[in-house]
Structure 1
Amino acid sequence: MSLQGKKIVLGITGSIAAYKTIPLVRLLTKAGAEVRIVMTKAAQDFVSPLVLSTFSHHPVWIEFHEGAIWNNHVELGLWGDVFIVAPASCHTLSKMANGLCDNIVLATYLSARCPVILAPAMDEDMFLHPATQRSLEMLRSYGNTVLQVNAGELASGLVGHGRMLEPDEIVQHLIENTFRGTKLTGKQILVTAGPTQELLDPVRYISNFSTGKMGMCLAEECYLQGAEVTLIAGPLQVTTSIQGIRQIAVQSASEMEEACLNHITSMDIIFMAAAVADYRPLSISNEKIKKSEHTSTLLLEKTNDILAAMGSVKKAHQTIVGFALETENEEANALKKMKEKKTDFIVLNSLKDEGAGFGLDTNQVTMYAATGEKKVVHLESKMNVAKEIVNYILE
C-alpha cells in the first residue's frame, strides 16, 4: 500500500512518545510520502531533530526564526495534504482547543487548510480528566480527527489508556481513511484469490503454487478506491492489515463455487483471480493411503468451472474479470477463455515472462476487453499491477 506523492506535515510535541516519531517518519517516507516536520522546544528533550531531519530529508523547524531566516509556517500549513500531531500532549491539545499560538506547531495548526489528525499521548488520569475530554471534543467539533489511544504500560509505570498509537497504526489510518479514494465508492466488489486444495486423504491434497498475492493486491486496491470488498480465498500465504475487507475462507473448488454463487447477486464487479484446481480425486480416502511396492493409480474428475458458472448468471450491470495463466498459445487461449466464459475482461499471465508468476512480488500482464481493446502492463510490483487492472476496468 502506498502514500506515493502525499505531502505530510508532522507536528511533534513534548511527550515520551515522541521517540516513536523516528519509526513513524521512516514508515511514511518508505510508503512514498514527503514529510516536513515541526516540533516544540520540549519535544527536543525526547527526540533528536538531527535524526528526524536525516530520515525526513528536510530541515526540522523548531523556532519561527533561525538566524535571519523566517520559517514560514503559513506556507507549510498550505503545503500539506494532511497535518498530523503525534504525539499530541495534554498541554498542546488544550492550547489547540482554545486557539493559543505560542509555538510553531500551534501556528502551523492554525494555518493548515488540510485535514488534521491528532494522536494523543498521556497518562490515563490526564486523558480521562474532564478538561482533557472537553478539549478533545472541541477539537473534534472543529473538524479534526482524534485517533484513539492504546492501553498498556504508561510512562508513569501505571497500566491504562493513554498510549499513543503505534507508528504502523497511524500509517494504516492514513492509507485506509484519510487518503482512501472515491472511484469505487458505493460499489460492491468480489475478489477470489489463492489456490484450492482437493483432499486425497486426511493428510494429502492436490493443489498448486498460488500464494494469493495478486488477488490480495486487487482486494486492497479496490478497498483503497472506496469499494466494499468481499474476498473469497483458498488457503493463503499472505495477509492484509485492512480490516474493512470482508474475508471468506474456503478450501476446495466446490466450497469456492458455492461461496461465489451465493454472493454474486449483490456484486457490481467480480475479479476471479483464484487458481482453482481443474481436477479433484474421484474419491477421498477416510484413512491415510499407505505406501506400497506397487504402482498406484489415482482417478481424478473435473471440478466445476466456476468462472463459466459466474458468467452464465451475471446480470447486465455486472462486470466479470477473468484471469488466465498460460504457458503456450497465450493470447489465443486467453481470448478463447474470455469468449467461452462470457467475461467482460480477461487478464493474461504467462509463465514465460521472467519475474511473473506464483509467489513473486512482481507481475506482468496483458489485459483484454470483450470489446476488443488490449493493454500491456510491463513488469511492476503486484500492487501497481492491481492498480493498473482496476483503472483499466473503470475506463
Structure 2
Amino acid sequence: MMKQSLQDKLIVVGVSGGIAAYKACELVSRLVKAGSRVQVILTESATKFVGPLTFQTLSQQPVIVDMFDEPKQWNVAHVSVAEAADLFVLAPATANIIGKLRSGIADDFLSTTLLATKAPLVIAPAMNVNMYSHPAVEENIGVLRQRGAIIVEPEVGRLACGTSGKGRLAEVERILAAIEEVLSASKDMAGQRVLITAGGTREAIDPVRYITNRSSGKMGYALAQEALRRGAQVTLVTTPTGLDLPAGVEAVMVESAEEMRQAVLERFERVDVVVKAAAVADYRPLMQQEQKLKKKTDHLLLELVKNPDILAELGQKKNRQVLVGFAAETNDLETYALDKLRRKNLDLMVANDVTQPGAGFGKDTNIVTIFNRQGEKEQLDLMSKAELARRIFDKVIEILSARV
C-alpha cells in the first residue's frame, strides 16, 4: 500500500562506495513504487559496485555522478537538487562520506549537495565493524546526530569482509520506516514555546577552578533539535558543552546554577513547556576566592552550601506549563524518581541508571524509564538520545492535547 507521506516527494538518494550499494537499488525501487520522485547521486567509488544505468532504470531519472554532469531529462537543474529535495538519504553511508559531511568537505557532487541542502537528512551507515567502532567514526556520527541527522543504525551480522559484528547496512524496511517517519512528522508543537536546559553547571572555586559534573549536554541538545523539528519556538539555556547549537534555537549561555536559575525564571511565565535536562550542581563553594588558590598544604577543605533547586521552584510556580524533569540515579531508581516527581510537582520524570552500559554521561544513547504524575511508567530499551527525545515529546503532546 502506498504511503501518503511518500507520494510526490522528491527524495535524493546518495549512494557512496561500499559493497552495500546494491541494497540501495531496492530502496530506490520501493520509493518509486510508493509514489516518490527519486534523484540518485552516486560517488565515483559507488559506480564500481553498481552502475548508473541500474539506478537510472529504477528511478526513471538521469543519475548524477560527476560534478559537471548535465542530466538531460530531469526538469530541475542539477545545481538546484539541494534546494528542491524534500528529504536526503545516504544509503550506504561510508566512513568517508560521513567524515566529509561532519568536516564540511565538498569535493564531489554528493558532498557538495549535502552541504547545500536544508532538507531533512537520513543516514544509514555501513562499513567494517572495526571502522564503525573507531572513535573518529563514532564522534563523526555523534556530531551529525546532534546537528539533526536521523541515523539508521547498522545491523549486526556477517560482513562482506568476512568478519562479523555491527556494520551491515540496515534492512531497507528500516530505512524506509525512518524516511516515512521524517516526512510524516507533523508540526504538532507549532505555536508552543519550549524552554530546555542542558549541560552541567560550573561552580567556581577561584578564577581558575570550578566544581562540575559529567553531563555532556547531548540529551538537552537532542531535545532542542526535536522540539524545533516539531515546529516549536525553542529557548535553550545551556552551559558550555562544545556541541554545535541547533540552528533556530534562542541560546542563553550560563555557567553556574544561580545563572541558570535566573535565566529560567526570567522566561518561565512566557513558555508552555519546560524540560530540565541539565545536570545542576547540588552544592557550590561558600566562598569564591578572588585570587587563584596556591598549593601550600597537603589538604584543602572547601565549605559547600546547597544550591537552589530550580526544578522544585518551577513546580511551585507553574500554572499551565508542562514540566519535565530528569533523574540520573545509581540505585533505587523508581523510588527516587517517583519521590522527585511528586515532591517537585512534575508532569513527567525521565529517570536512568547511569551505571548501565550505554546509559551513562557522554553517550549518544540512553536507557530510561518515564514516569507520569498518575504513577504510570514506561521502560524504554537502549536507544539514541535523538529517538528518546521524540518519545519524550510524544508524551508532552499527549499531556497538552488532554488539556484542550
Question: Which band: TM-score by shorter chain?
Answer: 0.5 to 0.7
AA aligned to 2:306 is K
8 Å contact kept, 2:11–2:85: no
- The equivalent of 1:213 in structure 2 is 218
1:191 maps to what in 2?
196
Residue equivalent to 2:384:
381
What amino acid maps onto 1:202 in structure 2?
A: P
Contact conserved, 1:194 with 1:275, CA < 8 A, in 2? yes
Q: Equivalents in 2 of 1:72, 1:281: separation in Å?
A: 64
**CA 1:8–1:298 in 2, change beyond 3 Å: closer, same or farther?**
same
The equivalent of 1:149 in structure 2 is none
The answer (yes or no) to whether the contact 1:88–1:120 under 8 Å persists in 2 is no
Distance 2:374 2:283 in 1: 32
Aligned to 2:303: 299
Alignment check: 8 A CA contact 2:56 2:63 kept: no
Q: What residue is the counterpart of 2:235 in the other structure?
A: 230
Residue identity in the other structure for 1:387: R
| 1:252 corresponds to 2:247 | no
Contact 1:52/1:60 (8 A) holds in 2? no
Matches within 5 A, 1:45-56: 50=47, 53=50
Do the aligned partners of 1:86 and 1:118 also contact (CA within 8 Å) in 2?
no
Q: What is the SS of the residue equivalent to 1:266?
A: coil
Q: Is the 8 A contact 1:24 1:167 kept in 2?
A: no
| CA distance 1:389–1:287, shift in 2 (3 Å) | same
Deviation of 1:249 (Å): 0.9
Structure 1 residue 48: deviation in Å?
Answer: 8.0
Matched, 1:321 2:324: yes
Please tell me whether residue 167 in structure 1 is matched to residue 113 in structure 2.
yes
Provide the TM-score with structure 1 as the length reference.
0.64
Name the SS for the 1:195 alignment partner.
coil
Q: Does the residue aligned with 2:205 lie in a helix, a strand or coil? A: strand
Question: Percent identity at matched positions?
Answer: 32
Give the structure 1 partner of residue 274 of structure 2.
270
Per-residue deviation, 1:86: 10
Corresponding letter in the other structure for 2:342: K
Unpaired segments ≥5 residues, structure 1 = 12-20, 63-70, 77-82, 93-102, 110-116, 122-139, 147-162
Structure 1 residues 294 and 266, CA, compared in 2 at 3 Å: closer, same or farther?
Answer: same
Question: In structure 2, do the counterparts of structure 1 residues 367 and 302 end up closer, same or farther at CA, with 3 Å as the change threshold?
Answer: same
- In 2, Cα distance between the equivalents of 1:222 and 1:25? 34
Change (3 A) 1:237 1:145: closer
Q: Which amino acid aligns with 2:325?
A: G
Deviation at 1:85, TM superposition (A): 9.1
Paired residue for 2:35?
A: none
> Would the aligned equivalents of 1:188 and 1:228 in 2 still touch at CA under 8 Å?
yes
Amino acid corresponding to residue 60 of structure 1 in structure 2: F
Bigger drift between 290-299 and 251-260 goes to 290-299
Equivalent of residue 284 in structure 2, options 277, 280, 284 = 280
| SS of aligned partner of 2:393 | helix
CA distance in 1, matches of 2:271, 2:265: 11
- Find the aligned partners of 2:232 and 2:18 in 1 and give their Cα distance: 29
1:105 aligns with 2:74: yes
2:260 corresponds to which letter in structure 1? M
Alignment of 1:134-173 (within 5 A): 166-173=112-119
Q: Secondary structure at the match of 2:351?
A: strand
Deviations for 1:290-344, whole angstroms, at most 9, x for unmatched residues? Answer: 112342211111111100111111122x100011111222111111111111111
Q: Following TM superposition, by how much is the alpha carbon of 1:394 offset from its aligned partner in structure 2, in angstroms?
A: 2.0
Alpha-carbon distance between aligned partners in 2 of 1:307 and 1:349, rounded to the nearest angstrom: 17
| Partner-residue secondary structure (3-state), 1:221 | helix
String of CA shifts for 1:185-231, please: whole Å, max 9, x gaps: 11111110100000001110000010001111111111111111111
The AA in structure 2 aligned to 1:389 is I
Q: How many residues align?
A: 299
The 2-side partners of 1:321 and 1:84 are apart by 47
Distance 1:9 1:341, change over 3 A: closer
Deviation at 1:173, TM superposition (A): 2.9
Asked if the contact 1:88–1:119 (Cα under 8 Å) also holds between the matched residues in 2, the reply is no
Q: How does 1:3-22 map to 2 (within 5 A)?
A: 9-10=11-12
- Distance in 2 between residues matched to 1:329 and 1:48, nearest whole Å: 53
Question: Which letter does structure 2 place at the counterpart of 1:173?
Answer: A
Residues 136-183 of structure 1, C-alpha deviations (whole Å, 9 max, x = no match): xxxx9xxx689xxxxxxxxxxxxxxxx999333345433589956412
1:113-124 correspondence to structure 2 within 5 Å: 119-120=79-80
Q: Which amino acid aligns with 1:342?
A: N
For residue 321 of structure 1, give the secondary structure of its aligned residue in structure 2.
Answer: strand
Counterpart Cα distance in 1 of 2:274 and 2:378: 19
Q: RMSD of aligned C-alpha atoms?
A: 4.1
The question of whether the paired residues in 2 share the 8 Å contact of 1:84 and 1:119 is answered with no
Question: For residues 48 and 213 of structure 1, do their structure 2 counterparts lie closer, same or farther at Cα, with a shift above 3 Å needed?
Answer: closer
TM-score in terms of structure 2 length? 0.63
SS in 1 for 2:368: strand
